[in-house]
Amino acid sequence: MFGDGSVLDLPLGDRGGQQDAWTDLAGEQVAKQWAALVDGYGETWQILRKTSLEPPIQDRLPLKTVRSLKPWQSLEKVAERQLSDDRARAVLRHFAAQGGSDAKLTPGYVGVWSYLERTFGRWTIEGGFGALSDALVQRASERKINVRTGAEVVQVSIERHRATGVVLADGSEIPTRAVVTAIDPKRTLTTLLDPVEIGPHLRWRATNIRTPGSVAKVDLALSGLPSFDGADPERLAGRIVIAPSIDHLERAFDASKYGGVSDDPYLEATIPTLSDPTLAPEGTHVMSVVAQWTPFELRETGWGAERERLGDLVVKALERYAPGLSNMVTARRVTTPVDLESEYGLSGGHVYHGEPGLDQFFVWRPLLGHARYRLGLPGLYLCGSGAHPGGGVTGAPGANAAREILGDLRRRS
């Protein structure tokens, strides 16, 4: 829903459906512009697919690839040049916002998400993301693999300049042929490894990995299903984006640049109980709201004081579009970027283990010279969001890392 009250119901996985939706909202010309833009991202996807899913990534990107991706062109510029309607521009720009960045600072190729969503759709996991972990654990146990959780690693063991195992917080040591970490690269390199072994230069470079977390989450337990103005209930099973206009997006991002949180934050809400009613007692719902541009470091105050204020602010912002929602809230939990660091071990509270800026992407992820999943020492590998091609629940960095690790182990045996 846009600030002017108009509503776009953009179907995923459906080119014709998208064209119809844009025609209904903004006319044929805008519909054609949108279709042409998204079609163009098809070529971008072919390039990104190869560089992201068919390793090894080369130490230098071929000039042809760089020229095609045009990383110097921002998403804002692409939106301005190729779309004449502000609502269409806002929809494109939200692909920057959902990664916690601003369209002015985000390369235009990030709009490739529009192509992926139009071609493949979007998916969620019944039972929530935890169900995916459970499925993986079950599969592992069928293969006689032990999975231990709640076991904090405090050190990587090293012998003759090779990673040989891990030491846990309880003092026990697990020896292994390969140490594979999904802990973010900054934390891995600066806290788990002996600085003498990795040397001052790599350690210094690791401290400079940018991790400016800016995502907070507000979970709400609701006594009923809220009703959003202008949106029929089936629409609520998708992602509810509160970003009424481009000015709104810019103001919300601007506040975060100066260490504050906008009174009108950019929100993405989902109601998981609409696709999986088992998550809450019958008739009640849970709502999960991601608030972007909530900086890890607040300039004037701290998250201890601001946590509940953010919760209030989010509920108030939702109330504007779903009158009566605040009276339905029976419980609330606010997770700030500081909590993401202290509870989940994410440096700077950055959900992607490092900003996916141009200088921390492709061959620069996590650091130039370490993009092929080997990290700092023989026998140590990086397999999570901090590795190429970055964050999100895609499995891509893990699959790429696994290929490299298996290759190394075969060569050694």
Which spans of this chain sit near ligand FAD (rule: CB under 6 A)?
Answer: 152-153, 182-183, 215, 217, 290, 344-346, 351-352, 384-385, 391-393
62 prior amide bond cis, ω within 30 = no
Report which of 89, 138, 109, 122 is spatially closest to residue 44, judged by C-alpha positions: 109
Beta bridge partner(s), residue 157 = 165
CA dist., res. 310 & res. 154, Å (int): 33
226 prior amide bond cis, ω within 30 = no
Q: Which is nearer to ligand FAD, 180 or 246 (CB)?
A: 180
CA dist., res. 191 & res. 202, Å (int): 13
Q: Which is nearer to ligand FAD, 152 or 359 (CB)?
A: 152
Q: Which is nearer to ligand FAD, 36 or 140 (CB)?
A: 140
What's the number of CA atoms in the CB half-sphere (13 Å) around residue 248?
21
Burial class (CB in 10 A: 0-12, 13-18, 19+), 113: buried
Residue 248 CB contacts under 8 Å (≥ 6 apart), including other chains: 3, 264, 266
Q: Least separation, in Å, of the C-beta of 214 and ligand FAD?
A: 11
Q: Which is nearer to ligand FAD, 83 or 213 (CB)?
A: 213
CA dist., res. 32 & res. 19, Å (int): 7
Q: Least separation, in Å, of the C-beta of 363 and ligand FAD?
A: 19
Residue 336 near residue 306, CB atoms below 8 Å: yes
Q: Least separation, in Å, of the C-beta of 98 and ligand FAD?
A: 8
CA distances from 387 to 206, 349, 402 (A): 13, 17, 12
Residue 91 near residue 10, CB atoms below 8 Å: yes
Q: Which is nearer to ligand FAD, 148 or 299 (CB)?
A: 148
CA dist., res. 247 & res. 394, Å (int): 32
Please report where in the chains the tokens 């654990």 appear, as a residue: 137
Q: Which is nearer to ligand FAD, 43 or 152 (CB)?
A: 152
Q: Least separation, in Å, of the C-beta of 12 and ligand FAD?
A: 14
Q: Which is nearer to ligand FAD, 248 or 353 (CB)?
A: 353
Q: Least separation, in Å, of the C-beta of 124 and ligand FAD?
A: 8
Q: Which is nearer to ligand FAD, 25 or 290 (CB)?
A: 290
Q: Which is nearer to ligand FAD, 193 or 246 (CB)?
A: 193
| Angle in degrees, 0-180, between the axes of helices 28-53 and 75-82, rounded to the nearest 10 | 150
Q: Which is nearer to ligand FAD, 116 or 325 (CB)?
A: 116
CA dist., res. 222 & res. 332, Å (int): 9
Residue 149 CB contacts under 8 Å (≥ 6 apart), including other chains: none
Q: 3-state SS string over 219-266?
A: EEEECCCCCCCCCCHHHHHCCEEECCCHHHHHHHHHHHHCCCCCCCCE
Q: Side chain identity at 411, as an amino acid letter?
A: R
